Structure 1
């Protein structure tokens, strides 16, 4: 697929967290390259909640650091970067609300296969049915996420189902940090090109969870929209979590810490490095 984007990929160190600032078209382009070259990459993301979890859970931090792509998923991360000295346009906020439709349309055009792992059985089935109707050229399969990941038999059953399909892209939507732990534990056993951390993506594809209105997400208030819809479940995450995130950034700012922009490069060069690094890992 020819790359028509003129944007740059910025790999930025924010409080020791490696964030890959990429636009949605460039993420789709990188995923395309991994599928065509038959390499395996992990696509994770940073929002305020995942940033906070990386401060609390060592293995979670390592997972995000090792992901080939850990893109910016929220305006909160963009605002933190701007406060620390790197102001980027809104196009570098690659939320799943924006990413998923473009990715699925691309998979439909290219004939790439997708596997959904996660959500309740009825929601998984609904997402599968809707996508099959909307994207008839795309091979798609699904398995619900309500199984015991610690049970060898149940976990092997899910992995066997995925490997039977041999999808190009596996979207794992089990919620943080369960989905990240499942990927890091089972990645080497999966015959897929791209492993994507999905969050509530499958529920959204099923039509169970509505997307936040664009005007709210563009000003960084998606968290408030979600909080109003699910106050009991999300109160601690957003009310306490957002404050904790703000305090961490404020503390770093007060101590004159700055962002480290480790690399600014073209998308083509980023893709080349991505595939080379993936090939090196397979040899180890």
Structure 2
């Protein structure tokens, strides 16, 4: 059964001279995109920004250069499931300036719905974060880490400062009472005193998204990135998944084997639930909506 998708608006391809004309409301079946064109794919009405790593880095750099604020969230199977369960979480992801694809499973689901995308569109933090930090190092940007245990946080800061000496790093652990106004204000004050270009919030889903949703307006930063366990990984407490495993879509299995008690419900229940959503969408011949993302210099951040 072939599903379809519609181009609702067209723009010049970000990475090439490709021009798409007269495609308003055009329906395309069994289409394959080979070039890393910046796309916004609406999978079950969830907007997933399929962008290359360089495009995301450019968007963050633009926000820093122009002193604007953007939120960079991400879609993997777990966050997709949360968006189906929690209305506020869905609204948060929809409102983020970027909600990039962080999962081979999401790419496969898009493929099952009729649009085959290359692996270049999977911008997991394992691939994305080193490039972000390298750019921060080149531009002498400042980075604030919010989250993790105190001992892991300091180790992560030390590791990053050693590896990226021209960037500036500071942080605040994530073990404070998120319901306590004074504790929240203390964390916000520490962030704003540092005035980071990039704020990485690593508290796990959906706690980190809820915290950012509540306090985004108070944060004096340029780019807010939702990072999950990224601070523990920066500290070396949690190893990165080998590329040969993640590239075939088995990163979930790698992480499950390392932390079966914590991740059992997420993967053993969440993955089948996600597959069921996609199967039902295909059965009912639901279509993808796809928009070509405008060139970044024209985005109103």
Gaps of 5+ in 1: 279-284
Asked if 2 retains the 8 angstrom alpha-carbon contact of 1:5 and 1:25, the reply is no
> How many residues were matched structurally?
269
Gaps of 5+ in 2: 1-13, 17-35
Q: Deviations over 1:189-244 (max 9, x none)?
A: 00001111011111110001100011110000000000000000000100100000
Structure 1 CA distance for aligned equivalents of residues 162 and 296 of structure 2: 34
C-alpha displacement of 1:271: 4.1
Counterpart of 1:101 in structure 2 is 130
Counterpart of 2:89 in structure 1 is 60
C-alpha displacement of 1:270: 3.5
Tell which structure's C-alpha radius of gyration is larger.
Answer: 2
Counterpart of 1:281 in structure 2 is none
Structure 1 CA distance for aligned equivalents of residues 60 and 244 of structure 2: 28
Counterpart of 1:181 in structure 2 is 210
Instruction: Write the mapping of 1:1-284 to structure 2, written as runs, cut at 5 A.
Output: 5-6=15-16, 7-261=36-290, 263-265=291-293, 269-273=295-299, 276=300, 278=301
Structure 1 CA distance for aligned equivalents of residues 146 and 74 of structure 2: 17
Q: Secondary structure at the match of 1:63?
A: helix
Q: Secondary structure at the match of 1:260?
A: strand
**Please, what is the CA RMSD of the aligned residues?**
1.1
TM-score by length of 1: 0.93
C-alpha displacement of 1:265: 4.0
| Runs of at least 4 residues off by over 4 Å | none
Q: Deviations over 1:45-79 (max 9, x none)?
A: 00000000000001000000000000000000000
Structure 1 CA distance for aligned equivalents of residues 235 and 15 of structure 2: 31
Q: Deviations over 1:77-111 (max 9, x none)?
A: 00000000111100100000000011101100011
Q: Secondary structure at the match of 1:8?
A: coil
Greater helix share, structure number: 1
